[in-house]
Amino acid sequence: MVNSAFFSFPSPAKLNLFLHINNQRPDGYHELQTIFQFLDYGDTIDIAVNQSGNINLLTPIDGVDDNDNLIVKAAKLIQQETGTNLGADIKITKILPMGGGLGGGSSNAATVLLALNVLFATKLSIDELAGLGLTLGADVPVFVRGYAAFAEGVGEKLTPVTPQEYWYLVTKPNCSISTAKVFTSTDLPRNTAKININDLNLTELMERYHNDCQTMVIKHYPEVAKLLAWLIEYAPSQMTGTGACIFSRFNSEHEARQVQSLLPENVNAFVAKGLNESPVIRALNTAITELA
């Protein structure tokens, strides 16, 4: 008998602790190197299995058609891949900004893949789930695997790493940035030399490495340039992903909240701790125990 109760799963944000663009391939995709780390902050997804076979998103997101929503796409993908007759009712409490570079949509897709694999008892391996995730987006596999990672290729070649788990103040200027617009810009640097993972310095990431997308974004988005210039006065600060969010590094929550209290008006911000293990892992183990 299928349990129709709702189970709750976190869908965490990520940071790119640096992001180097190495080149552009003939197919248009970019080869890159980055380190992904999770945050103890994100959306929450609640899922209940149904017998109808339908995927019902009970909390549609404004401006996003359900069929274009990565949550729905992920749920239908696991149905197609496994041939299950089960469906799901899904609710999301959305707090991660769209167009912020925090990986919200990719994280949502990964959480749904992982959760439904447990709730449907479809028993796909992590490798299989990560492969499905890659068809939805280059950032989905790291969320599926659930560990901080040095990423190469288009972001799908992952090697576990353990950068220090600092506290971060994450700020968002009053703008949203299209990932596609960044990667098609003629101003995007595309020739940063590749790092050998054996030479990677995990203790001085922000001091030694940078975000190539930031170079382009601050040229075209004055809101990002202005906020970044302000933050750098207080702490090492850098844009995450393709922006617009900026993360500032601190040794303690108290220090991060002190600077948060000084922020200019109309800047959205939160304080969160970096995590090398995704909080989804614990939630999945809890669900497995409850279903046993």
Give me 126's structure tokens: 């992590």
Q: Which residue has the tokens 């380190």?
A: 35
Phi and psi at residue 259, in whole multiples of 5°?
-70, -35
DSSP alpha helix (H) spans, the chain: 70-82, 104-119, 126-136, 140-145, 179-183, 205-208, 212-220, 222-232, 253-260, 280-291
Catalytic annotation, pick one of 43, 73, 139, 212: 139
Q: Which of 243, 249, 245, 238 shows the shortest CA–CA distance to 272?
A: 249
Work out the widest C-alpha separation in the chain, in whole angstroms. 59
Is the separation of the CB atoms in 107 and 13 below 8 Å? yes
Task: Kindly tell me the burial class for residue 12, based on how many C-beta atoms sit within 10 Å of its own C-beta (0-12, 13-18, 19 or more).
Answer: buried
Helix, coil or strand: residue 89? strand
Catalytic annotation, pick one of 14, 43, 73, 172: 14
Is 14 considered catalytic here? yes
Q: In angstroms, rounded to a whole number, what is the distance separating the alpha carbons of residues 100 and 98?
A: 5
SS (H, E, C) 222-274: HHHHHHHHHHHCCCCEEECCCCCCEEEEECCHHHHHHHHCCCCCCCEEEEEEE
Q: Which of 95, 96, 137, 133 shows the shortest CA–CA distance to 114?
A: 133
Is 139 considered catalytic here? yes
Q: Which of 75, 38, 118 shows the shortest CA–CA distance to 285?
A: 118
Residues 6+ apart with CB under 8 A from 241: 14, 16, 19, 100, 101, 102, 103, 179, 213
**Known catalytic residues?**
14, 139
